[in-house]
Chain A
């Protein structure tokens, strides 16, 4: 039994345990213990984070001559660590006061289901991360998809249900694409094992690689929510019950990135991908992927700018931030990939903190609609602090950790000589700054409404994980070397030259980064500012909000004196017309097709359960595609593969 076995087995048993005790109040405590122990197990594997050899699971499966096995390398460990740690924070977050309120509003059953969904998500993600070959990858992939769906489907709200169904349709499409790609890989290389495929890739033609990369890219890209598959994610994550959104928003979509790194970077290798020229353009496959990343930073970020609901705004940013990771990874040099991979960690920390803060606000006020919030800073100062630190991270401003990973991406683009990608990345960052200010302004600053006069600070059980995350955000911002160690090991594992770094950042001949110095100087600056402010100026008096400049008028309580809607109206006069909703219309066409199909199947099954419906629709679609796939490939070699795949299907 290796440590990995321990981990997987433990998590699986824990899942069963949680599902069993889900009706009892102790489930929240149990889950915290489970994730804490899982973290301990991961720490036991910490050698992986510093360049240790992969750890294999002793459990293998033999399906149709293919050996399915599971293993952890440095990259998996890195992702697993993030997953489990975020799950730990989330479970603490949802254990105390939030649990009580949720149980009251819904039921103990619903809360137990949420816990179960969370632990199943963690388990499935660990299985995915541990996958050692394409088939086990696919199994893990499907598990993750359905676990996510379960989580999203917990919210009984109509909008949420719709978003969840939208998600599962996308996920099925992704699964099909991946399945197809796996089948083709098998037909081309005769193996599903990473190492063997890696060797066989050298003999494949460019067209074959391009086809495979496209299929894998679409499949994994859908999970990541890259352009043009960005539409499902925001609504699905935003509508998930609070802690679920925290967890999903922080890490779930990153599984796509993980798989993409494994397949495209590790197996096909980016040099090979870069060699594929797109006819009639100056671009190659790598450029395309990088541009997909760049556009993913821009478009969702600016969609986020228009949102009027805190959760949606954050969820859209989640989509956008994925672009930076993809962009960084696709730069393919040691700095860029380091930036991309490190961003996964940084992003997970601040996104979790942000979702927690927003959930805390919702917990206290019952809304996340910007029009109904404002002025909460005096009531919830610590939550405000958490949000400010996290938005500084999200916006990529020193000294928080988001800056470091973005700096690495910029630096790589600079060294690489990619002006347009660089500008795209910067446009994304600036858009982020704009919308995060909107977030913090409209929730915490401005006029306090009557109904929020007695709002209290978030309860401790919710506050502690937030503060813990804030410490991580700041700590890894000052000492990015801690994370860069793991990142370097992960880079090593996927076959990229690891980044040279030290505790404070990286050293480069042409201008490096030392966050310890940068932070030190910034705090020196703040100290000077504070001295100037507090010692050179006199005493000041705190005044009521009615005592405010209103052109000489008397402000009264009937006046809404708070600017929140159309926050960037001036900018929108210019770019408002650019929101053409092209993607939305495309999607709507597809959705109407699917709903047509689902109605057909409803007639067949007379079932009121949408989940069954969707599954049925999905199954029919899957069967349809499989059969169409096998038709042209009637010539011998493919037939057993389809059998093999069908045999290996998880259901």
Chain B
């Protein structure tokens, strides 16, 4: 930094001191920082510090073709990239008034739900690790890896798939994919008991997570909390059901809620959501073979595709919460403006700063992970 920062100054006669959680800290999710002012172990105030992951996505996208942008959108949120591709495609389809073939829609939902499973498995481990239990993160990441294998088979990429394009998905599912998916779901269900015993009903964990980082419903609405974090306060709202996109209104699933609004409630909501996703995937496995037809609508030459003028705001339910893109086209080969409303842009900044006040240093990392914030969504 600047030399003047090292020029000694008299410190105020106060007992407050500062701690830096992140960017190089195990208690932070990704490259992000949370600066704390503490007195003893009580947090006086917390200040989020973002920008470590800033790449100027929105600027980058203005400089690339509509189709090229598909390659960079999943990079905005790494643990859960599929919704990014889908929602970007949705806005383009909305501007172009394209109709995605039904089979394409089913496959998209399949990916979305599989991605949700992978993301939640990742989160459990992270949350448990902040409380000192590392075994769930070992298990969770390994089990997530099996989902990534499925993705690899389906799309060719483990983490970044670039499988959705405006108009549908790039290609149909491989032979026998649904069987392997079904096996994976069976496996996940056999693991349910292990996870419950190890994590969700572990007395020590429950003691750590209960009544920590409580948001009530009013605060949640005021601060714009979305997704599982909102459902953990008792409001059964889910974009998939209440603002349905793709074929979600044809699927039968529940919206798990908890009322406590604390860290435990949030992780339990995610746990239930994971098994709701399993339920959705089972329906897809059952229905998908009967949905015939192409997987994508024809699009013009992608290298010379001038999307017609218009604007569209589309949102989906990602594993972190409400994810939305605002896309503006001026009829040119490149987007005029793409605004990414990351699901975590509220959680990781204002909600966290508000929740941290008065909490204890023990719980800060846990609160952060229980909100399941994804810093690159803030930075973009």
Contacts and interface: CB of A to CB of B under 8 A. Distances in A.
B250 interface: no
A176 B239 CA distance: 82
Interface stretch (A199-207, A330-338, A547-555, A621-629): A547-555
A450 B33 contact: no
A565 B5 contact: no
A634 interface: no
A551 B25 contact: yes
A304 B39 CA distance: 20
Contact of A449 (B1, B10, B24, B362): B10
B175 interface: no
Interface in A565-583: 565-567, 569-570, 572
A569 to B, nearest CB: 4
Interface in A540-569: 546, 550-554, 556-567, 569
Nearest to A567: B40
B86 interface: no
A562 B40 CA distance: 11
A372 interface: yes
A453 interface: yes
A553 B24 CA distance: 8
A554 to B, nearest CB: 4
A105 interface: no
A371 interface: yes
Given A371-B13, A557-B9, A560-B11, A566 B25 contact: no
A552 B20 contact: yes
Interface in A187-202: none
A317 B16 CA distance: 27
Given A450-B11, A552-B22, A561-B18, A546 B39 contact: no
Contacts of A451: 10
B33 A551 contact: yes
A371 B369 CA distance: 33
B13 A372 contact: yes
Given A449-B10, A552-B23, A559 B39 contact: no
A565 B19 CA distance: 14
A559 B18 contact: yes
Contacts of B40: 565-567, 569, 572
Interface in A441-458: 449-451, 453
Q: Secondary structure at chain A's binding surface: helix, strand, loop or mixed?
A: loop
B8 A560 contact: no
Contacts of B14: 371, 560
Nearest to A554: B1
Contacts of A371: 13-15
A556 B1 contact: yes
B7 interface: yes
A560 B15 CA distance: 9
Nearest to A551: B20
A309 B75 CA distance: 54
B42 interface: yes
A372 B15 CA distance: 9
A588 B122 CA distance: 59
Nearest to B1: A554
Contacts of A562: 17
Contact of B5 (A552, A554, A564): A554
A560 B25 contact: no
A233 B7 CA distance: 44
Contacts of B12: 560
Contacts of B24: 551-552
B5 A561 contact: no
Contacts of B9: 450, 557-558
B25 A552 contact: yes
Interface residues of A, number: 27
Contact of A557 (B5, B19, B22, B42): B5
A450 B8 contact: yes
A220 B147 CA distance: 77
Contact of A558 (B5, B20, B28): B5
B22 A551 contact: yes
B22 A453 contact: no
Nearest to A563: B17
B22 to A, nearest CB: 5
Contacts of B25: 551-552
Q: Which of A558, A561, A562, A564 is the most central at the interface, judged by chain B CB atoms within 10 Å of its CB? A: A558
Contact of A560 (B16, B20, B28, B33): B16
Given A552-B33, A564-B15, A557 B6 contact: yes
Contacts of A560: 11-12, 14, 16-18
B254 interface: no
B41 interface: yes
A372 B9 CA distance: 14
A418 to B, nearest CB: 35
A557 B11 CA distance: 8
Contacts of B141: none
B21 A551 contact: yes
B125 to A, nearest CB: 21
Interface in B1-57: 1, 5-25, 28, 33, 35, 39-42
Contact of A566 (B6, B19, B20, B41): B41
A442 to B, nearest CB: 11
A557 B18 contact: no
Contacts of A557: 5-9
B12 to A, nearest CB: 8
A553 B40 CA distance: 21
A248 to B, nearest CB: 29
A554 B11 CA distance: 17
Nearest to A449: B11
Contacts of A556: 1, 5-6
A449 B11 CA distance: 7
A562 B39 CA distance: 11
Interface string A11-43: 000000000000000000000000000000000
A160 to B, nearest CB: 22
Contacts of B23: 551-553
A553 B36 CA distance: 12
Contacts of B22: 551-552
A295 to B, nearest CB: 27
Nearest to A553: B20
A551 B16 CA distance: 18
A563 to B, nearest CB: 6
Nearest to A564: B15
Contacts of B5: 554, 556-558
A599 B35 CA distance: 54
Contacts of A553: 20, 23, 33, 35
A570 B8 contact: no
Nearest to B38: A563
Nearest to A559: B18
Contacts of B18: 559-561
A567 B7 CA distance: 28
A372 B10 CA distance: 11
Contacts of B39: 565-566
Contacts of A566: 15, 39-42
B136 to A, nearest CB: 24
A7 B33 CA distance: 71
B206 to A, nearest CB: 19
A565 to B, nearest CB: 3
Q: Which of A449, A569, A570 is the most central at the interface, judged by chain B CB atoms within 10 Å of its CB? A: A569
Nearest to B31: A552
Interface string B181-223: 0000000000000000000000000000000000000000000
Given A551-B28, A569-B41, A570-B41, 5 more contacts: A551-B24, A552-B20, A561-B17, A562-B17, A565-B15
Smallest CB-CB A-B distances: 6 pairs? A566-B40, A565-B15, A552-B24, A551-B20, A569-B40, A556-B5
22 contacts: A450-B8, A450-B10, A453-B8, A546-B6, A551-B22, A551-B23, A552-B22, A552-B23, A553-B23, A553-B33, A553-B35, A554-B5, A556-B5, A557-B7, A560-B14, A562-B17, A564-B15, A564-B17, A566-B39, A566-B40, A569-B41, A569-B360
Interface of B: 1, 5-25, 28, 33, 35, 39-42, 360, 362
